Chain A
Amino acid sequence: MPKVDEKPRVYLEEFRVKNAPEDYGMADEKWSLKKFVKKLRIVIVRMDSFEMEFDLIGIQPAFANAFRRLMLSEVPSMAIEKVMIKNNTSIIQDEVLAHRLGLIPLKADPRLFEYRPEDATEGTEFNTLEFSLKVKCSTNKNQPKDSFRTDDLYENHSVYSSQIKWHPISNQATVHKEQDIGPVHGDILISKMRPGHELDLHLVAVKGIGKDHAKFSPVATASYRLLPEVTITRDVHGDEAILLQSCFAPGVIGLDSEGKAYVREARYDMCSRNVYRYDEIKDAVILSRIRDHFIFNVESVGAMPPNIIFIEAVKILRDKCKSILDELNKFN
């Protein structure tokens, strides 16, 4: 056994995941803000406008999970909710078309909008975005001879998300810039058409949350994993070391100049536990994960940068706590 430090662990055994024997779960710990503040650490590992990886260290899984859940289902975003079909002569069915349009991620920042009241018949500039999609497919008048490529034969044979046009309501044009509103990706294929097919749609986007429908989720996915830890318990040399190295993701196990295996960076391990397939080196490692070290991975759909999404999630949790406290305080 390695020396027991204060880090809580789960052990990845061959056939099951086991908590450390002395670990009774962090829920039992008495909450102390001081201790928590001392332990809590956030390290941003990687971030761009769509994806972020960061470590949340020293926190209970309940919190980490709450943030994950909130990002998935309660951080709002804008999505097309209503499609008025004025004309649809394409082969795609009205409902399916509407469903596809709904899933197109929009750039519009949900923080700048309000929820639309359920009983509202008309949207206002503060809660609604209106778009239109008007495409008509026709035969290409000056098509090159002997070409059978659809691109040459027809015009507008494929409808892409870039063809969605924003129609600002009253003051919206001054508040928002056009490039900040429309679809995140312009190359999403909505429908294919042939001459004679026509789409004339009026689209209404509103603010909503992922709990309602997955299209309102601001993330493609948000999830975490626990930090892996690999401990080598005995010396592993030569062929065994190479075998050991091959059992882990690249970069996890290093070989020193003498061909002895050492743990270089356990973070990269995929926890495939393939060591257990080899009886000869099975006993040489202990696989475990740190229970309060969460490696978050947030993939934004594009409306908000991932760090903002996380902060929004934290805010929602804060507001929820506040509201429950308010409710409880009523009885005091």
Chain B
Amino acid sequence: MRIEVGYRDEFPDGRALRLAARLKRAGVASLQRITLCDVYLLSGYADPGNAVLREVFCDSVVQDFWVQRSDDQPRPHSADWNAVIEVTRKPGVTDPVGITAADALRRAGVVSLPERPVDAAGDGSRAAAVPSAVQSARQYRLVVDGSPDRQLETAQQVAAALHNPLIERAVVLAPYVGAAAAALPLAYSNRIAASPAEVLTFDLASMQPHQLMQLSRDRLLSLEPPEMGAIRDYYADPATTASRRAAGLPAGCTDVELEMIAQTWSEHCKHKIFQAHIEYREDGDDQSAPQHIDGLFDTYIRRVTQSVAAGRDDLKSVFHDNAGVVAFDDRTYVCFKAETHNSPSALDPYGGAITGIVGVNRDILGTGKGAKPIFNTNVLCFGELDTPVEAIPQGLMHPRRVLDGVHHGIVDGGNQSGIPTIAGAVLFDDSYVGKPLVFCGTGGILPARIDNEESWIKHIEPGHLAVMVGGRIGKDGIHGATFSSLALDEASPVSAVQIGDPITQRNMTDFLLEARDRGLYAGITDNGAGGLSSSLGEMAQHSGGVRIELDCCPLKYPGLAPWEILVSESQERMSLAVDPAHIQELISLAAARNVEATVVGRFSDSGAVEVFYHDRPVARLDLGFLHDGLPRMQLTARWRSPRAAAPCPAAPGPSARLVTDDRETLLQLLGEPNIASKEALVRQYDHEVQAGSVIKPFVGVGADAPSDGAVVRPRSGSNRALTVTHGICPRYGDADTYHMAMCAVDEAFRAHIALGGDPERAYALDNFCWPDPVLSEDTPDGPYKLAQLVRACRGLHDACVAYGLPLISGKDSMKNDARLAGRKVSVRPTLLISLMGVIKDASRARSTDFVAAGDHIYLLGATRGELGGTSLEKLLQRAGVAAHLGAPPTVDPRSALALYRALHAAIDDGLVASCHDLSDGGLAVALAESALGGRLGARVDIQTVVTSLPATDGASVQPGLPAVTRALFCETPSRFLASVAPVQQREFEAALAGHTCVLLGRVVEQPVLQVRNGSELRLELGLEQARDAFGRLNGEIV
């Protein structure tokens, strides 16, 4: 049965209007009009009649409704449209609307017909019969100009823009006349080819190395020769053979075991590169012995937290759980975690992003005894929006389309889950054209103690039942963990793409928090990469073993091979350890909350993961081997010294004007996509749900000036609050990733300070997204990229230790390369620092906007004039001048920290009216943003800053640029722009005594930005113009 629902003509559909605008921008000409219909295709239901169907599907006040029951019934036809496109999801791709529709029918009392027998017709493959189900589809009705051929061409163009063939299919009817009705089916095929239920066994002991590697490639295991060797050795061990024989398993390795090992040992799960032994050498130093690094994680990252942890008791659980847990106040803890979802977002931007969000939400839900998500963050990196279509390698999407899809996924993922999206950033850079970077973060809160025990402790004991909660298992998301460890290419598996379903997860979240508070489970973890294999495999380490019954696992449809059930990454699932005494109560609570909970095994102390399928053993792996049997990688890193400054353009031209006309430079910088307002995107995120928002993403009189980060109060009735900020500056890494990392830490930390955060109470996450740094035929520069990684880790370590900033969790994604049509596109090495800090009293928080005319404007922190890797450099490079402007900004953490403490005290004492940290675009951009926010002008003199710039020595600083330009646009870190009321001037200056604190001028009523260098007027810019430049991008990204 086919049901089509659409708004009546007198109620124009806002979605259609927006879509028409988008298509026009995408260059679809000759499209006059487009309207939308929601389509529901019911199969396997008894016909309840139109009245019931109307009640379920149609809002009769505004919508029309049409039901088709047989193929020969004529379709509606109107002169109002002459082409029709219908888009549905491919079989096996999650269809949340269809799931809800089936639920609504059940609630309306519509009954399913008896199940049909297995459909064995046709192509010889075993197809699965699907019981009653609803497929949702979206129908577009078009009015297209021109000849019939032209109509078809336009409709196909629109269809291409409206669906992603990896996961969706589109039917195009053009020219459409009523007679073409039969071409839209009553149901689309949802047949999924069944996998063989047999378990394969591989005789690894008899395989040659090349055969082992062939096996790794054929099965997409992403395992390297030493790893395949270690697996072979495990099976050759007589102890293994004996225990397998006793358990009734063959001597060879079963496919269930091989897949489980590959998942557990994937780069994604084991962070092999961060664990590797590295020999590091610098250019020109071939004589002395190389430096040996015994694991980047242990040497740098863990060491940060070890060295700053001394004497503090706020770090509760770091690194070993899903997310780092720290004390918030005496009764509550908070936790924070960020992940990336890059490869899936490249293939399906919407699905990749939404799955990223709901996935990291589950990390929080599975932290300790379970935390409640209280905020989301996202940092998105895309190729430049003006990239010519021809420059996009075949098989890749244009950055604009990636942006649209990712953004839509983040909107749905956050808003529908009721979790505010409070902070983040959008970056554009050529190097992200191959793989976008999609960083998704979530913060959570949990009571300090649950059941009279520290809430971060997990207890999983032998005898506890293993319970799977939430969605069912399908073939979507098979090999996600191993796939993310490969470069993207034409053969990337479609099954790695999934669509998250926030509403299923929302129900599960409500249920789990209720179950937690009733003490119904003992341990919890999420099902992310690797599915049950990963979650139960990890939980088994607590009890000492687990027995899994694969045939007990609820499936979306029949026809999954045993190994597929074990490693599928189907979404919205959590795993619990439940005391048998509580199982009945847990199961019935789940049922009352519309959540499925199923016992799928039992934890043990057998020392092994044992897997059964219909009572037959199909896998048995020693826990020790599974988790610790992975051989360490041995890698080489080779560092080349930073490049020297290249000459500045001397020839006249637009770019020359750029560096001599500061006003023009500032206008261009305000419109530079990385600096320009992205409000059109951010306003679509619900940033206020849960009611904790204190500093919002956009601030000021018109709520359109950027803030430095977010401040939220997680607990009603308490003014204690959290700051959330980010630091990311990949272009600084062109010269030296050491400084890039230090600057990223500083950026996040100084933004925390600018908001009013306590310098002694801040916690950071490190997320590395690197191009493949392992030497191979494909990656001849692997040693250099690895050296960049080593240096970034050192910079991260040095800055965090200097600031006393613990790293509480982190993640790395090491294969951000795309290889398409023979071209390799690698991301710039990228390190994101996400920071969560405490602000004792939210009413002390500050925003970036100038508050009152007459206030004094101060620049805090020394200005050193570095321009390498800055926004100004990028502007020149994109203007066609291959300019390198010398050394990148560097951090002096000692003086910076002293300044941060002094400024924090001043803010805490209420001496500061507004505070803005200086980042992209330097002083000039910060001034313009603060003025825009306050709708107030500024009159400043920067002579003191100019004269105090360090002299250029020609090597480290670009010599050709005027000192004033350097002072205005350099991106020296650790600086702030603060405004202070005249009555507080003296006290403020006293509080900042001993630190670089330059009085620049005053906030003025007249809406003009005026910058002098002594007697010389360097820059005069009306706020209206600045606002236009800053806001222009918004028109292009909605």
A-B interaction: no
